[in-house]
Structure formats: C-alpha cells, structure tokens
Chain A
Amino acid sequence: MNNLVLLVALPLITAFLLPVINRVSAFAGRWSGPLILLITSVLGISLWSQLGDSAVAVELGGFRPPLGITLYADQMAILFAVAASLGTLLLWPNGGADPVRQSTLALILAASGSGLALSGDLFNIYVFYELVAVVSYGLIAGKATSGSYAATMRYLVVSSFGAAMALTGIALVYQATGTLNLAQLAQLAPTQLNNIQGLAAFVLMLIGFGVKAELFPVNTWVPEVYATAPTRISALLAGVVSKLALLIIVRLLVLVFHQPEALTVMLVLGIMGVVSGELAAWRARDFKRMLAFSSIGQLGIMFIAFSIPGKAGVFAGLAVALHHLVVKPALFLLAERWSGSISKLAGAAKTSPLAAGLFVLLALSLIGVPPLPGFWAKLLVLVELSQQAQALYYLGAFVILAGAALEANYLFRVASRFYLTEKGQTAPATHRMPELATASLLCAALAGSVLMLTPLAEQIEDIASQAADAAHYIQTVNPETLP
C-alpha cells in the first residue's frame, strides 16, 4: 500500500524533469507526461481493487500522526485521485504556444489533485490547494491573450482571498485543538470545536475551499475564466478540480464540524448558487458562458445534497458529483468549435451530426430525463431532501426542480438551433478528432452506466457509507486509540 505515495510523487517528479527530458528528446518530452498519467491511473485502479471495505492510512517518512503527515485512502479518496489523473490524461492540453510548459503544469495539477484527495492533514491540504491554484493560473494564462491575462488576474485575487480565509480558519482550529491531523481533530472536535469558534473556522474554510468549488459568493471568476481559458482547461477546472475542492469540504463536515448551523450555512449558499447560476445561464447568449453558469448551478445542487446530514447526504451528493464529473467536461469539449454566440450555431447538426447528437444526450442527462443517470442522481437528492424535517430543505428541493425547468429551457434552445436551418447563414466548423473522440468516450460511459445502474448505485452507496464513517477514519489512522 506504500504505492499510494506514487500517485502524488510520480507525476510531480516527472513534471520537474520534463524540461530536461524534452531537451534530450522531443519525442520523449511529448509522450512521457501522458504515459506517467496512464501509469498512475492504472496504479490507482489496482489500489482500488485491493482496498475492499477497510481504508488504509500511510504515514509519510515513518513519522507517527500528530507530527507526521498521513495519507488516508478510502474508496472515495482513491476514486477522486484516479479522477484527477485520468481526467488530466483525457483532457491533456495539446498545442498552445509552449507545449512543454503546459505539460509540466498539467502534471503538477494531476499530482496536487491526487494529493488533495488523499491527504489526511489540514495544513497539507492547504498546501496542495495552493499548488492547484497556482498551476491553474499558469494553465489559464497559457493562452496568452489579453483576455486570459485579465481573467487570470481577477481569478488570482478571488482565489488568494479565499486561501487567506482558509488559512485563518486553520489557525482557529489549531488554536482550539493543537493539532491539524484530521483523525485527531475528529476525536477532539466534539469537545473542543463544538462552539462558535468551530463554526467560524468552518465558515472561513467553506469560503476558502469554496472558491474552487464555485460556491455562491466567491464564484465571480467562473464565467470569465471558462470563457477565456483553453477549452480543455475549462473542462478540467469545471469537471475535476471543483469536485476535489468539494471533497475537502465533505471530509471536514463528516469528521470535524458537526454543528447543525454548519449544514444550514452550506444549504443556504447552495440554494443561492442554484438560483444565480441557472438564471444567469438562462440569460447567457454565448455557449461557453452558458456552460460556466450552468456549472455553478450544478455545484449548487451538490452543496444542497451534501448539506443533508449523515450518510444519505454523502450518497446523494456523490451521485450528482460523479454525474457532473462525466457530463461537464464532455460539454466543454464540444464547445471547442461552438464557442461564440448561440444564434450562430444554426445548422450545426448538418455539418457535425455526431457532435449534435452527443450534445442532446448530455443535455438530457444534465436536465434529468429518465432513464439517464442524471435523472437518478437528481431523484436521489430530491427524495433525501423530502425526508428532512427543516423547511429550508423543501426550499432546496423546490429550487432544484425550478432549476431543472430553466435548464431544460436554455439547453433545448441550443439544441433546437442545431436542427434549424436558416438561409444565408454559414454552419459552424466541424470538430477536431481528439475532442470528438474524448467526448464520445465520456458519452459512452454515461450511456453504459444506464445499463448497470443497480450495481453502480450499490457501489456508490458503499463508497458513501465508508466516507461518512468518522469512527472508521479515526481507527484506521490511529489504530491504538479506540473511539
């Protein structure tokens, strides 16, 4: 199980060696990055198959937990670590002004993303989070247009503000408990953090880690960045990185912060995210910004789902998150050739019928039309919401349903454009092969999951029950301390 470290270390080492490798042989420089990510993905999947029901903790450097850093791997952590590697591999940044630099940054993104999923130490999480942030600035600005510089600058301001908030929250936690190991925090939290200071720390960290997870008040960067960044980078940020940030917040909620107020804060911000995101997407007139706003809305649904207490919330939220993880990158890949005004997309179904068909399939799943997986994910959230006692949860359910109606409106508006032919208008360009192939692959995964819905749901429920079990986490990291 010591192979766990390789998921982080291997891409990181390769990233720093890449400029040297490229000088020796351009061919090796071009292919070593994807190769390493393929290796880490396979490694992650093989670790997953060994894992079974009990999680694994690795002490880095052989130091025991309070001082040493722990890597904690349960099924959820490995799943998202593999998503980080595999996602970066599928959305590998090709082309650009400086391919070696872009490859280096992409490798660091995969490494720090895996680290974010696996780390069991709050400060270590902060460091990986900053690493993800810095790398994504480089990837967005890599397009080297004036728009991408300005968007990166505005993103950097919001993101640095968030990171400082998270650091302040970490300082409050350390002040109350004297430790930053998540397992120890889980033990100390009921006595030391179950007060107003704990709540303040949670809200600060929610704002901090919420920047990447497109949480309502700190998501002003989303439309600008997704509209100006290279399409593959937008897909990566919206699909994978946002889920990794969400994963940290879920871990914190399960292990450390048990106050009901913490869940209420998250629920309210989630509702506002859905309302603002879906309304803005409905009004957007260009394809990329529409996708960006709709991603804010979808992340809002995840926040609402994760604010349901206990295992049920983790299960429902995980289902929506995994669905979005597949659908949104595929939609962004299709946007590569369809960027720009929606009104210019008339007749696209004639020139690229496959891409138009894929878009309709993805849109149907995003809205939640049975029997596609998006329907079951949303249904699960709604069923769990309806079983809560608080009235605010019903508002959440109402907002999700209203959001689905808006989604149907704006996505069908685009789809109807595709199959409409107007005179005197030139149809948009056809897609390049790599984008279309990756989008088809993701759509095939989506369609395939319809066939094995029951085993998939059981698997996700299994992951959720393991992730929601705080006692198991404490037991795995500190075997001698009984909870």
Chain B
Amino acid sequence: MDTGLILYTAAFGLIVIGSAGIVLSTHLVRIIFGIALLEAGANLLLLLATYREGSPAPIIVNGHIPATMADPVPQALVLTAIVIGVGILALALSLALRVQRAYGTLDLREVRQRLDQDIADEAGIDLPTSGDAPQAVMSRQEGRA
C-alpha cells in the first residue's frame, strides 16, 4: 500500500472521528478534543493536497533546481491554520472553565438545560412543559400514570 493512500485514509479518519466526537459526546472536554482532532484532519488533508512522495523541500542550493519539489504554499497555509487552531483551543478550554464555575458541570446537555432555564427566568416566562405537548401524548401519559 502506498504512503499517499495511508495518509489520505488517516486524514479522512481524523475528520470523521473528530466530527463524531463533537456530535456524539456530551462532555465538554471531549467535544473540545473532537474539535482538535477535526482540525488536525483538515490540516493533514490540506498538506496532502499537493503531496508528492520523496520530493525534496523547495530550496535551490548552488543553482541546482530539483526536478520535483514539494509545494510550499499548503505548508505555509497549514502553519497559519495550526496557529489559529491552538488559539481557539485555548479559548475553548478557558470558556469551559468559566462554564464549569458558573453551572458546576461540564455535561453539555445539563449546561443547555440550565441555559434555557436562565434565559426563561430572565425573560420571566415558564419553560415549555408537558402542558404544551400535543393532546394525544398527554392522554397517553396520563393513562400510564
């Protein structure tokens, strides 16, 4: 199996694992790690865009120009993307800390419930309750009770 195929599989694998982590986990730190994996996958894919196996770095030494060269543009781009990613990761972790201090939990489902409650309290309305559910559901629940 050639290296390119393995690397492409790795890149798409990281993207899928990262996305699955964001969508399926409820723990905030796991979601943040999912974002990190997803970004790593996207960066790897960008690097692979012009990958040629065994090609040297694009540096001209003593006037000798190599026959094939690695494309320097994606490397510069990925460097920028990595820096942005690290910044966002730090921001996300510090925000997670704030959320933990505010609500005492890192479970995103719980955070969302508390957030809805907060918004409703501030607005002075009740949360949507089972009273808003369709009649059929209500009667079924009453029957069960």
Interface size, B (range): 35 or more
Say whether A174 contacts B22, CB under 8 Å: no
Q: Let me know if B96 is at the binding interface, CB within 8 A.
A: yes
What residues of chain B lie closer than 8 Å to A224, measured between beta carbons? 115, 119
Say whether A147 contacts B39, CB under 8 Å: no
| Distance, CA A340 to CA B92, complexed state (A) | 29
Q: Let me know if A472 is at the binding interface, CB within 8 A.
A: no
Binds A, one of B54-62, B121-129, B133-141: B121-129
Say whether A152 contacts B46, CB under 8 Å: no
The B85-117 residues at the A interface (CB cut-off 8 A) are: 87-88, 91-92, 95-96, 98-99, 102-103, 108, 111-112, 114-115
The B23-47 residues at the A interface (CB cut-off 8 A) are: 28, 31, 35, 38-39, 41-43, 45-46
Q: Let me know if B9 is at the binding interface, CB within 8 A.
A: no
Say whether A178 contacts B71, CB under 8 Å: yes
Say whether B81 contacts A167, CB under 8 Å: yes
**Closest B residue by C-beta to A67:** B73
Q: Which of A127, A149, A157 contacts B84 (CB 8 A)?
A: A127
| Distance, CA A182 to CA B41, complexed state (A) | 24
| Distance, CA A152 to CA B88, complexed state (A) | 12
Say whether A150 contacts B115, CB under 8 Å: yes
| Distance, CA A60 to CA B32, complexed state (A) | 35
What residues of chain A lie closer than 8 Å to B119, measured between beta carbons? 147, 224, 227-228, 286, 289
Say whether B88 contacts A174, CB under 8 Å: no
Say whether A167 contacts B49, CB under 8 Å: no
What residues of chain A lie closer than 8 Å to B18, measured between beta carbons? 164
Distance to closest chain A CB from B99 (angstroms): 5
Say whether A167 contacts B42, CB under 8 Å: yes
Distance to closest chain A CB from B25 (angstroms): 10
Say whether B88 contacts A160, CB under 8 Å: yes
Q: Let me know if A55 is at the binding interface, CB within 8 A.
A: no
What residues of chain A lie closer than 8 Å to B41, measured between beta carbons? 164, 168
Say whether B102 contacts A149, CB under 8 Å: yes
**Closest A residue by C-beta to B23:** A161
| Distance, CA A174 to CA B46, complexed state (A) | 8
Distance to closest chain B CB from A386 (angstroms): 36
The A406-453 residues at the B interface (CB cut-off 8 A) are: none
Say whether B50 contacts A153, CB under 8 Å: no
Q: Which of B45, B103, B108 contacts A146 (CB 8 A)?
A: B103
Say whether A153 contacts B123, CB under 8 Å: no
Q: Let me know if B53 is at the binding interface, CB within 8 A.
A: no
What residues of chain A lie closer than 8 Å to B125, measured between beta carbons? 285-286, 340-341
Q: Let me know if A464 is at the binding interface, CB within 8 A.
A: no
Say whether A137 contacts B103, CB under 8 Å: no
Say whether A147 contacts B46, CB under 8 Å: no
| Distance, CA A439 to CA B76, complexed state (A) | 45
If A168-B42, A171-B49 touch, whether A149 touches B99 (CB-CB below 8 Å) is: yes
Say whether A134 contacts B91, CB under 8 Å: yes
Q: Which of B50, B74, B88 contacts A156 (CB 8 A)?
A: B88
What residues of chain B lie closer than 8 Å to A178, measured between beta carbons? 50, 71
What residues of chain B lie closer than 8 Å to A286, measured between beta carbons? 119-120, 123, 125
| Distance, CA A124 to CA B46, complexed state (A) | 15
What residues of chain B lie closer than 8 Å to A163, measured between beta carbons? 88
Q: Let me know if A206 is at the binding interface, CB within 8 A.
A: no
| Distance, CA A80 to CA B120, complexed state (A) | 35
The A121-155 residues at the B interface (CB cut-off 8 A) are: 123, 126-127, 130, 134, 137, 141, 145-147, 149-154
What residues of chain B lie closer than 8 Å to A160, measured between beta carbons? 35, 38-39, 88, 92
Say whether B95 contacts A167, CB under 8 Å: no
Q: Let me know if B80 is at the binding interface, CB within 8 A.
A: yes
| Distance, CA A51 to CA B28, complexed state (A) | 49
Say whether B95 contacts A153, CB under 8 Å: yes
Q: Which of A147, A156, A165, A167 contacts B43 (CB 8 A)?
A: A167
**Closest A residue by C-beta to B123:** A286
What residues of chain A lie closer than 8 Å to B111, measured between beta carbons? 150, 153-154
Q: Let me know if A339 is at the binding interface, CB within 8 A.
A: yes
Q: Let me know if A344 is at the binding interface, CB within 8 A.
A: yes
Distance to closest chain B CB from A291 (angstroms): 12
Distance to closest chain A CB from B69 (angstroms): 13
Q: Let me know if A175 is at the binding interface, CB within 8 A.
A: yes
If A149-B98, A157-B31, A161-B19 touch, whether A339 touches B123 (CB-CB below 8 Å) is: yes
**Closest B residue by C-beta to A137:** B91
Q: Which of A67, A170, A227, A344 contacts B46 (CB 8 A)?
A: A170
**Closest B residue by C-beta to A141:** B95
What residues of chain A lie closer than 8 Å to B38, measured between beta carbons? 160-161, 164
If A141-B95, A146-B102, A149-B95 touch, whether A171 touches B115 (CB-CB below 8 Å) is: no
Top 10 A-B pairs, shortest CB-CB distance: A146-B102, A286-B123, A175-B49, A171-B46, A167-B42, A147-B118, A171-B45, A340-B123, A149-B98, A150-B115
Can you identify 15 A-B contacts, CB atoms within 8 angstroms? A123-B77, A141-B95, A141-B98, A145-B118, A147-B118, A149-B99, A150-B102, A153-B99, A154-B115, A157-B92, A157-B108, A168-B41, A168-B45, A285-B125, A341-B123
User: Chain B: residues with CB nearer than 8 A to chain A?
Assistant: 15, 18-19, 22, 28, 31, 35, 38-39, 41-43, 45-46, 48-50, 71, 73-74, 77, 80-81, 84, 87-88, 91-92, 95-96, 98-99, 102-103, 108, 111-112, 114-115, 118-120, 122-125
User: Chain A: residues with CB nearer than 8 A to chain B?
Assistant: 67, 123, 126-127, 130, 134, 137, 141, 145-147, 149-154, 156-157, 160-161, 163-165, 167-168, 170-172, 174-175, 178, 180, 224, 227-228, 285-289, 339-341, 344
Given contacts A164-B18, A178-B71, 15 further A-B contacts (CB under 8 A): A134-B91, A146-B103, A149-B99, A150-B112, A150-B115, A153-B28, A154-B108, A156-B92, A157-B35, A160-B35, A161-B22, A164-B15, A174-B49, A289-B119, A341-B125
